[in-house]
Structure 1
């Protein structure tokens, strides 16, 4: 398992092949529950769920592990705004790291 921060720091070593990544959930799509953002040591990656095959609850938090393929994507201004609006209003970079995931395991934090 590779923390998101290590994957981003050594992008060329990790990109383009299925691997297991980990991080803390910082944002979840509030519209369709079809993506989440994982953070580790200040680095983030947006996790897109391959073919919308699965969704996660809007209020998901805590740590997560995903199996997927890492890439880097440049977003147009309208895509940046769309991602910001569909999330919790957090800042979105015009260049982001993405993991297209085939599966996810959430370590949810109990409410209260």
Structure 2
């Protein structure tokens, strides 16, 4: 009986350790490209539908309404969620994610950059330093898997 209890506990811990959470549209990991390869795949296109795997660098501290994922050369890409239809947990920094949707070449306005900085908990001094729009690759996700 003692061994059965130990076995049951070890199976439960193993299953819990491998748990994934799904947000938005239910997707699979199949065919996901590493985040650092996305910019090259996007190339000159204004947008590109794909599935990406990467590491979360930061998350909106207000309600999980966006996340930044590490790309190449220490850069990050902002990932928002289609029509704000879902959010991700605020405690996923450092975790692996897979997300599916549309990568886009965008220019983010100063007002939006300041809003994102505020959501990230930046100081008023840091927010005041934002004076130029930012050109970047961004992503609008339809679904996210948090590993």
State if a TM-score over 0.5 links the two structures: yes
* Greater share of residues in strand: 1
TM-score of the aligned structures, taking structure 2 as reference length: 0.63
Spell out the pairing of 1:1-112 with structure 2 (5 A cutoff): 1-12=32-43, 16-41=47-72, 42-61=74-93, 62-89=95-122, 94-107=134-147
- Between structure 1 and structure 2, the one with the greater Rg is 2
- What is the deviation of 1:96? 2.3
Name the CA distance, whole Å, in 2 between partners of 1:106 and 1:14.
Answer: 28
Distance in 2 (CA, whole Å) between partners of 1:5 and 1:39 is 7
Question: How far did 1:9 drift?
Answer: 2.9
User: Normalised by the size of structure 1, how large is the TM-score?
Assistant: 0.80
| Structure 1: runs of 5+ lacking an equivalent | 108-112
Asked if the contact 1:4–1:43 (Cα under 8 Å) also holds between the matched residues in 2, the reply is no
Rounded to whole Å, the distance in 2 between the matches of 1:76 and 1:66 is: 24
Aligned residues: CA RMSD = 2.4
The residue aligned with 1:110 is: none
Q: Secondary structure at the match of 1:17?
A: strand
